[in-house]
Amino acid sequence: MDLELILSMANATLRLATPLLLAALAGLYSERSGIFDIGLEGKMLAAAFAAAATAAVTGSAWLGLFAGVAVSIMTTMVQGFASITLKGNQMIAGVAVTMLAAGLTTFLGQTWFGQGGRTPQLSGDARFERIILPYANELSGVPIVGPIYAWVLSGHYILVYIAFLAVPATAFVLYRTRFGLRLRAVGENPKAVDTAGISVTFQRYQAIFITGILAGLSGAYFSIAQGAGFGNEMTAGKGYVALAALIFSKWRPVPVMFTCLLFGFLDALQIRMQSTELPLIGEVPVQAIQALPYVLTVVLLAGFIGRAVGPKAGGVPYVKER
Amino acid sequence: MSARHPLPRWMDIVLLPAINLIMAFTISGLVVLMIGESPLEAISIILYGAFGYGDGFGYTLYYATNFVFTGLAFAIAAHAGLFNIGGNGQAYVAGLGVIIVALALDQTHWLLAMPIAIVAAGIFGGAWALIPGYLQAKRGSHVVITTIMFNFIAAALMVYMLNRVLKPASSQAPQSETIDVAGRVPQLREFIPFFGYSPVNLTIVLAIAALVAAYFLIWRTKLGYQLRTLGQNSVASRYAGMSNSKLIMIAMTISGACAGMVAVNEVMGVQNRLVLDFVADAGFVGIAVALIGRNHPIGIGLAAVLFGALYQGGQELQFSMPTVTVEMIEVIQALIILFTGAMEGLFRPALERSYALLSFEQNAEATRRATVEPES
């Protein structure tokens, strides 16, 4: 393989890992606080639509991003109200929210823009620009470091950098702050937290608020950064891949990043490998690579390679003793 | 805290689902109103489209057939305390079993091909659900997550099978060869002209049989008793000497086999070949059907017809009111799942409290009489 191919694959990996990373970190806050979240896909879809619709109307990508995040938070709060306050089934709440987002986005898209559920093509300020890091051109001549800096790290949308900065931030919040300690505690042993006089309910709502923000960023990335406008089902199951990544990395922030990079790489590989022959193996079916993240997660969950044990109180609504 | 009185049966199985349905429809109505159309007119179009004439009613029943299978699939697993959201994948993979049998036997007679195809669909669908079941029972991985993953694995597998294995050399489209007329499940319109050109076929008889069989399985057999015990209290079932892991695997297999019957309806009765994505999210509709039907065969049958009507009526609605697309039905369905499945806590406590208040006076009267009588 030549250098250029490696660099472009690395670039594509970062690009494709970003929405997964944002969504997986979103899920991390929720699940670490004891709320299983299989509604990531729905929040991303709702955010993608809201972002594209707002950007199309106002012509501002930043307003679009803001709207996407706001809608994602609202969706999360509906799900949270069902799972935290009403103590409903968290799985069903997730399924319902995803379905609601899938139906409403297409429906409202068709009603408002009349283009078969798509939003108008975005251009100019309505879409995020790629950011060229300082001195990228000047440094590209430097051996090894130069091309990596110029062609892999530079030239991404701002959300890509936000996503990767969110990893150390999440690790710090989770392991080094009082908020993080409490968040992990309500996910493992809510009764102990309650006994210490801290509201489990409020703590969980705070956690899913962050989930809403991150899932909103992830959704907006699809429609106003990577793509130029919203299309039906545009998140295409990436919310579930993110969920798989979260489980695969055993609910820890730094491994989440590496898993998302791995899954992003598989995605890039899958695009690159369409109908190319490999030496020895022959042609690898694209579908095999597409299914790989899911298969890996199942294998991990089954405990054949390591063991993935989620937060102990996950999926169980907290009922105060009377 | 006042003790919570359990609701009487009729409130639990009729009133509560009705309230939740009304909530879902009201919100959907508001959405329709918001875009400037009349919700009442929309409902009348849906009702006419679904029940008003033969073709429409036939389509309603055709959709309902699928939803009965997926609803039962979800319900049977739910009785055992399992949350099987892999109905889509199980039905999709079952299509393989059906098409293999159908293409091998389509020169004989449907009376031979159909039963064997049913068995094949059950085996393929059941096996696809057995794996997550096994992983939950023996390896402790959560069945919800694994069934989600298996939906995606099934989708990738089927795209591969259709493109590389089942596609005839002469064809470009990713679909299998067409099943010969002799091997297709007969359409109801061949016996009852009333149904016009609708694709409702004899599989509906299988659906009704499945409802009856599910009732007997769950409430009239030893296995059903064991499954319900596991679902209510897994410690109790183990204490009573049942093998929980065996029961989990059995429940998932039956559930998957049930979902697999969708493939019989679609592949042998409607499409006459295996096509991409023939399940069309029937698995997820099944969740709504089972929730609103309270996991009971009668409820599931009624809910399946309700959703069949919504799907068929929704298609009609799209023609008459171009601004209201068929996705509106998906919205209604999501709201129903939300209200009946996840937001049960919204109305149940209030209902229980008001019921307790109403019955309080009667209770007081009864206690007074009971305590007074011995003295006299």
| Domain boundaries defined on chain A | 3-126+138-236
- For residue A131, the cross-strand partners are A156
B327-336 vs B297-320: helix crossing angle, rounded to 10: 150
- For residue A156, the cross-strand partners are A131
CB contact under 8 A, A100 and B287: no
Residues of B in contact with A311 (CB under 8 A): none
Out of A30-34, A172-176, A227-231, B363-367, pick the least confident.
B363-367
- Report the percent of chain B where pLDDT is more than 90: 55
Q: Which two tokens stand for residue B231?
A: 């679902």
Q: Are A298 and B141 in contact (CB under 8 A)?
A: yes
User: Which residue in A75, A90, A98, A99 has the most chain B C-beta atoms within 10 A of its own C-beta, making it the best mutation to test that interface?
Assistant: A99
Nearest-angstrom CA–CA distance, A162 and A160: 5
Chain A's closest residue to B153, CA to CA, is A291
Q: What pLDDT sits at residue A200?
A: 92
Contact of A322 with chain B, judged by CB distance below 8 Å, is answered with: yes
Residues of B in contact with A287 (CB under 8 A): 156-157, 159-160
Contact of B157 with chain A, judged by CB distance below 8 Å, is answered with: yes
Residue range A37-54: average pLDDT? Answer: 94
Name, in order, each residue with C-beta under 8 angstroms of A177's C-beta and a sequence gap of 6 or more.
none
Q: What pLDDT sits at residue B362?
A: 66
Q: Where are the domains of chain B?
A: 61-293
Q: What pLDDT sits at residue A144?
A: 76
Residue range B31-57: average pLDDT? Answer: 89
Contact of A132 with chain B, judged by CB distance below 8 Å, is answered with: no
In the predicted model, is pLDDT for residue A53 greater than 90?
yes
Interface predicted TM-score (ipTM) of this complex, two decimals: 0.87
Q: How far is CA B227 from CA A316, B49, B230, B237, in A?
A: 22, 40, 5, 9
Nearest to A107 among B85, B139, B325 (CB): B325
Residue range B46-51: average pLDDT? Answer: 92
Nearest-angstrom CA–CA distance, A8 and B289: 48
Choose between B170 and B101: higher pLDDT: B101
Average pLDDT, chain B: 89
What three-state secondary structure class fits A278? strand
Choose between A35 and A286: higher pLDDT: A35
| Smallest Cα distance from B207 to chain A, Å | 25
Out of A67-81, A230-244, B56-70, B356-370, pick the least confident.
B356-370
User: Which residue in B160, B343, B348 has the most chain A C-beta atoms within 10 A of its own C-beta, making it the best mutation to test that interface?
Assistant: B343
Q: What is the DSSP letter of B272?
A: S
Choose between A122 and B62: higher pLDDT: B62
CB contact under 8 A, A111 and B342: no
Residues of B in contact with A88 (CB under 8 A): 341-345
In the predicted model, is pLDDT for residue A279 greater than 70?
no
State the CB neighbour count (10 A cutoff) for residue A213: 21
User: Which residue in A38, A40, A105, A107 has the most chain B C-beta atoms within 10 A of its own C-beta, making it the best mutation to test that interface?
Assistant: A107
Cα dihedral across residues B43, B47, B52, B57: positive or negative:
positive
Q: Are B219 and B79 in contact (CB under 8 A)?
A: no
In the predicted model, is pLDDT for residue B252 greater than 80?
yes
Chain B's closest residue to A107, CA to CA, is B327
- A284: confidence class by pLDDT, cuts 50, 70, 90: confident
Contact of A86 with chain B, judged by CB distance below 8 Å, is answered with: yes
What three-state secondary structure class fits B339? helix
Choose between A127 and B150: higher pLDDT: B150
Q: What is the DSSP letter of B53?
A: S
Nearest-angstrom CA–CA distance, B362 and B358: 8
| Smallest Cα distance from B340 to chain A, Å | 9
pLDDT tens across B18-36, in order?
Answer: 888 888 889 988 988 888 8
In the predicted model, is pLDDT for residue B3 greater than 60?
no
Q: What pLDDT sits at residue B5?
A: 64
Q: Letter for the amino acid at B209? A: A
Q: Which of A119-123, A179-183, B194-198, B288-292 has the highest mean pLDDT?
A: A179-183
Residue range A273-295: average pLDDT? Answer: 75
Q: What pLDDT sits at residue A314?
A: 80
* Termini Cα distance of chain A: 66
Nearest-angstrom CA–CA distance, B129 and A262: 28
User: Which residue in B37, B285, B338, B347 has the most chain A C-beta atoms within 10 A of its own C-beta, making it the best mutation to test that interface?
Assistant: B338
Residues counted in chain B: 376
Q: Which two tokens stand for residue B128?
A: 């696809």
Q: What pLDDT sits at residue B14?
A: 81
| Smallest Cα distance from B342 to chain A, Å | 4
Residue range B216-240: average pLDDT? Answer: 94
- Report the percent of chain B where pLDDT is more than 70: 94
Nearest to B164 among A86, A285, A308 (CB): A285
- For residue B187, the cross-strand partners are B201
In the predicted model, is pLDDT for residue A36 greater than 60?
yes
Q: Are A277 and A285 in contact (CB under 8 A)?
A: no
- A54: confidence class by pLDDT, cuts 50, 70, 90: very high
Q: What is the DSSP letter of B10?
A: H
Q: What pLDDT sits at residue A199?
A: 92
Chain A's closest residue to B162, CA to CA, is A287
Average pLDDT, chain A: 87
CB contact under 8 A, B334 and A285: no
Nearest-angstrom CA–CA distance, A294 and B261: 25
| Smallest Cα distance from A150 to chain B, Å | 36
In the predicted model, is pLDDT for residue B223 greater than 60?
yes
| Smallest Cα distance from B164 to chain A, Å | 9
Q: What pLDDT sits at residue B95?
A: 95
Q: What pLDDT sits at residue B100?
A: 93
Residue position matching structure tokens 């039907």: B293
Q: What pLDDT sits at residue A275?
A: 60
Residue range A72-89: average pLDDT? Answer: 92
Residues of A in contact with B30 (CB under 8 A): none
Nearest to A211 by CA among A100, A135, A97: A97
Q: Which two tokens stand for residue B261?
A: 């019957």
Q: What pLDDT sits at residue B7?
A: 76
Phi-psi region of A319 (alpha: psi -120 to 50; beta: other; left: phi over 0): beta
In the predicted model, is pLDDT for residue A139 greater than 50?
yes
Phi-psi region of B196 (alpha: psi -120 to 50; beta: other; left: phi over 0): left
Q: What pLDDT sits at residue B376?
A: 46
Q: What pLDDT sits at residue B1?
A: 40
Interface of A with B in 23-52 (CB under 8 A): 36, 38
Contact of B152 with chain A, judged by CB distance below 8 Å, is answered with: yes
In the predicted model, is pLDDT for residue B2 greater than 50?
no
DSSP state letters, A129-173? PPBPPTTHHHHTTSTTHHHIIIIIISSB-HHHHHHHHHHHHHHHH
Residues of B in contact with A100 (CB under 8 A): 331, 334-335, 338
Q: What pLDDT sits at residue B91?
A: 97
Residue range B35-47: average pLDDT? Answer: 88
Contact of B264 with chain A, judged by CB distance below 8 Å, is answered with: no
Q: What pLDDT sits at residue B370?
A: 66
Residues of B in contact with A110 (CB under 8 A): 323, 325, 327
Contact of A240 with chain B, judged by CB distance below 8 Å, is answered with: yes
Out of A22-36, A154-168, A269-283, pick the least confident.
A269-283
- A306: confidence class by pLDDT, cuts 50, 70, 90: low
Chain B's closest residue to A241, CA to CA, is B149
Nearest to B293 by CA among B338, B341, B258: B341
Nearest-angstrom CA–CA distance, B122 and B285: 20
